[in-house]
Structure 1
């Protein structure tokens, strides 16, 4: 159901977690193999009136699939929250979160919340997996978070979670090879030409070729993949075809022939390319490799503006929240605290490259330089559609573009076929 790119977007940085007072204590004793609690129901003891309810002492269940560094930070956050409020969060690390959610929630089992990017919102709301907490929140999304983040956690007029970070691709550059980041693709190409030498394992650009990573340039001339408001595909519009051809003709030729993520990432990570187009989850990897890396917004093509897809990391409110009580209140309070505590959010930015979506921090000079570069790219971007139809768009776009890239088809017939396939899959 969800495009495989999500695996990259959830890897996070391989850096140490933030340090907060108190030891990490997460009780995993009462869970089954899925990580779900086998006892301790939601309880009553509370009226479920959200952030205005001063009832504490509840325990909310939270599922996640974070890697080591961000997981350590989350555990520290949970400890700090408990010390501050008396409420507890029971964490469960789920290896295949999507599969577990789709197996457990229809059977009436599951947590109060889980953490993932926003592109499941539409499908899971329509499936009845989620809980609208609009009338129970103390936080007003529109006045607290960026407009894109506030929109991302809502669907069909319901607030289905709270956002704490964004993610998108930007330009990473090796400071040992590049003095100043280019502002235009033309400037970027002049630098890539100096370094591109495939015969000796040197390339101008590290660029995983899939619909998410190329979206910034594919949509840079006014085109689009899918308009969820109109429920309309835009793959065969002249503006979108121009974008696909631009990626093929002006950028992909500077990258290795193996378009998959790992080979592309390795080229930059090993110091064999001056540039990479990648996301904040990649920062830990390049820093561990000892590279001095800068981050800048995607350079502009002539006559266009990059428009990369952006994602929003969020705490999803699951239908178990509808039961109310102390435990549901604890979950809601944690989500509000975690997404509005600016010291916590700055720590996540510094340690893991998380891009804040709180209005007081987005684009702020307080952010680490690399994260600020990503934050500027987020401002240029377009939030990924949450409508379920978008899930059927990714694979046909990837298949069509690879045909175009390898010279097997021109862009127009390739994407005409892609649109036909997508519409058939919608039916």
Structure 2
């Protein structure tokens, strides 16, 4: 009798064990399925931009749940954990200039693994150029930014805006006195100086990762730019330059579009105009162009392809770019957006569109990481320490070559 009871108890236990296993198996599949439909996106954007993105991505519910997570240390975090599927995001929204670093790490998937290349023809050519590394497109462009020539209409009227750099220089000579400056910029910051170097057909770094600091064109640009620097304040930090312009002590500046809301809030009637043409070359000042967009990590492309594609296609809606233009003055990456009144009526966006015709996409190769410090030191030597331009440029070139060699 005891044997029969024991046998029945063992049979019941076995049934319960199998049932529990089946239930847990079903539960596990559900969790896995839910995980495949959850996409985490890192970003570092201001609230106005994040809100537009969040609103659009919420339309994917309940099929896809998107978690938009702000990360102040996004670039370094990706270097540290980008290859760990448990810790890394599925996608990230950021500028294009780190693409080469992450592609070489092997953590990125080409966008064309998910979206056919021919569907990307709706984007401006230079935004796709920025997104391309070694022949592969690693970013879906959404908007871009360039520096702008801005002026305070209280001092500089629309018909007085310099069309050439020599006209700008004359204006500086006539209006720099008593604590006022005709023109200011962050002249010894590489991002700002790049516009002058590019305008001379010089280069900080070529597409193949070769520095061009000692080229005739780059040296000529540094020498020419120096006379403008001599009529600017010695202190050229971001806060100092922007404060001078915001408080009306500087009549004009070259700055990013993010400065416009600040000076308008301060009561300034600010104008934006095309970059002055450099008399020496016939080229306008040609700043770097930063393209902001979405990137896909390889693990997500392989394991969450359906959800990732839905996110990408949601962000390919032109209305997203129009909403970003209205919310934060972002210049759309799609050609078709420039046929819409909401975009063409925005003078800041259209000024960036004009500047983008000559802007150079920031290099996205890994070697650029070392160039910011080298070029910053070169500009300090030339503009603030009065060292010989040619000798300083040649020394900086050698330093850059050595640092790049140590990376390989």
**Contact persistence 1:162–1:315 (CA under 8 A):** yes
Q: Which has the higher helix share?
A: 2
User: What does 1:169-318 correspond to in 2, within 5 Å?
Assistant: 169-180=147-158, 181-197=161-177, 200-209=178-187, 210-229=189-208, 231-249=209-227, 251-304=228-281, 305=283, 306-318=285-297
Query: What's the secondary structure of 1:247's corresponding residue?
Result: helix
Q: Could you say what the CA RMSD is over the residues aligned between the two structures, in angstroms?
A: 2.5
What is the deviation of 1:139?
6.4
Residues 40 and 104 of structure 1: is their aligned pair in 2 closer, same or farther, counting only changes over 3 Å?
farther
Q: Segments of 4+ in structure 1 off by > 4 A?
A: 39-42, 362-365
Unaligned runs of 5+ in 2: 1-27
User: What does 1:326-405 correspond to in 2, within 5 Å?
Assistant: 328-338=305-315, 340-362=316-338, 366-367=343-344, 368-405=346-383
Query: What's the secondary structure of 2:79's corresponding residue?
Result: helix
Q: Which residue pairs with 1:43 in the alignment?
A: 32
**Contact persistence 1:195–1:273 (CA under 8 A):** no
Q: Which residue pairs with 1:110 in the alignment?
A: 88
TM-score (normalised: structure 1): 0.80
What is the deviation of 1:201?
2.6
Counting matched residue pairs gives 370
Larger Rg: 2
User: What does 1:23-172 correspond to in 2, within 5 Å?
Assistant: 43-44=32-33, 58-79=37-58, 81-82=59-60, 86-108=63-85, 109-138=87-116, 140=118, 142-172=120-150
Residues 168 and 153 of structure 1: is their aligned pair in 2 closer, same or farther, counting only changes over 3 Å?
same
Residues 252 and 361 of structure 1: is their aligned pair in 2 closer, same or farther, counting only changes over 3 Å?
farther
Residues 142 and 212 of structure 1: is their aligned pair in 2 closer, same or farther, counting only changes over 3 Å?
same
Unaligned runs of 5+ in 1: 1-38, 47-56
Residues 196 and 40 of structure 1: is their aligned pair in 2 closer, same or farther, counting only changes over 3 Å?
farther
Residues 274 and 144 of structure 1: is their aligned pair in 2 closer, same or farther, counting only changes over 3 Å?
same
**Contact persistence 2:301–2:308 (CA under 8 A):** no
The CA distance in 1 between the partners of 2:154 and 2:31, in whole Å, is 55
**Contact persistence 1:401–1:411 (CA under 8 A):** no
Query: What's the secondary structure of 1:395's corresponding residue?
Result: helix
What is the deviation of 1:40?
11
**Contact persistence 2:53–2:320 (CA under 8 A):** no
**Contact persistence 1:192–1:274 (CA under 8 A):** no
The CA distance in 2 between the partners of 1:59 and 1:373, in whole Å, is 38
